[in-house]
Amino acid sequence: MTTLAPTVPLNDGRSIPQLGLGTWPLDDAQVEQVVVTATGLGYRHIDTAVKYGNERGVGAGIAASGIPRDELFITTKLDGGFQGEDRAIAGLEGSLERLGLDAVDLLLIHWPLPQRDEYVSTWRTFIRLQEQGLARSIGVSNFLPEHLDRLVAETGVTPAVNQIQINPYIVREEQRAANARLGIVTESWSPLAPGSDLLSDPRLAAIALEHGKTPGQVVLRWHSQQGLVAIPKSQSAERLAQNLDVFGFSLTAENLSTLAEFSEGPGAGVDSATGGH
């Protein structure tokens, strides 16, 4: 039996599955197999990017999955080199060709790159691409509140999603509040804080034991219980299944206050404005 994640409404009338499959740093061959496994388990939301170099493999996995296209939610992200009016059109056309799709469900500007100052003209192009039906929803990634305010002021169109680095160490309260003020759904990248000691922390192990879950499941529940969309990556069928099975239990107020102790405060994490590549 497959389990489907619940969905979260977007400000454009559509909705996004609250848990998706991260695909970085899988290559084409690896990601094809992982997409097939994940969709078989019930994943319906897949996150890729031009930068990951694996859109062909994601497309092959989608084709092999047997899941009807309209049941899937596919996100890709425009790479920095494609920012700008005409380049953004070419950027999406390349992604659609590699994915083998007529449209993506969500097209994101990968990083604001404010030093180039092309994110507003890119956004104007995204608005047209959405009107043409090539990107069903449009959004951004790694945008600070000042970047969002500028997009809205200059174009009148608010992004549906802002995908940013969030985990119990890096909570980004100010950015989440700005997203919420504008009606933007916050999506968490690196939700499990890979490369850190998070998943081996004894405080997390105690909460996991209390609920009969793994530390990773507790962290993913921490995201979903706060209304965040999360896109964990796993190459293991067992962990893919675990990561989707996080909607049948609730963290207590005490659990949440223990997890709040992990926060490293404002300023932790990748610098959203300059961390891009």
Residues with catalytic roles: 52
Tokens of 276: 């891009």
Nearer to ligand NAP, 159 or 232 (CB): 232
With 0-12 CB in 10 A as exposed, 13-18 as middle and 19+ as buried, what is 94?
A: middle
Cβ nearer to ligand NAP, comparing 110 with 136 = 110
The span from the CA of 256 to the CA of 224, in Å, is 12
Of 236, 165, 158, 218, residue with least CA distance to 194:
165
Q: Which of residues 35-74 bind ligand NAP (CB under 6 A)?
A: 47
The yes or no reply on residue 236 touching ligand NAP (CB under 6 A) is yes
At closest approach, how far in Å is the CB of 143 from ligand NAP? 10
Nearer to ligand NAP, 38 or 67 (CB): 38
> Which residues, including other chains, have CB under 8 Å from residue 7's CB and lie 6 or more apart?
15, 16, 17, 18
Query: Is 168 one of the binding residues for ligand NAP (CB under 6 A)?
Result: no
Q: Which of the 8 DSSP states describes residue 198?
A: G
Site string for ligand NAP, 194-213 (x = CB under 6 A): x----x--------------
Binding residues for ligand NAP, rule: CB under 6 A, are 22-24, 47, 110, 141-142, 163, 189-192, 194, 199, 214, 216, 231-236, 239, 242-243
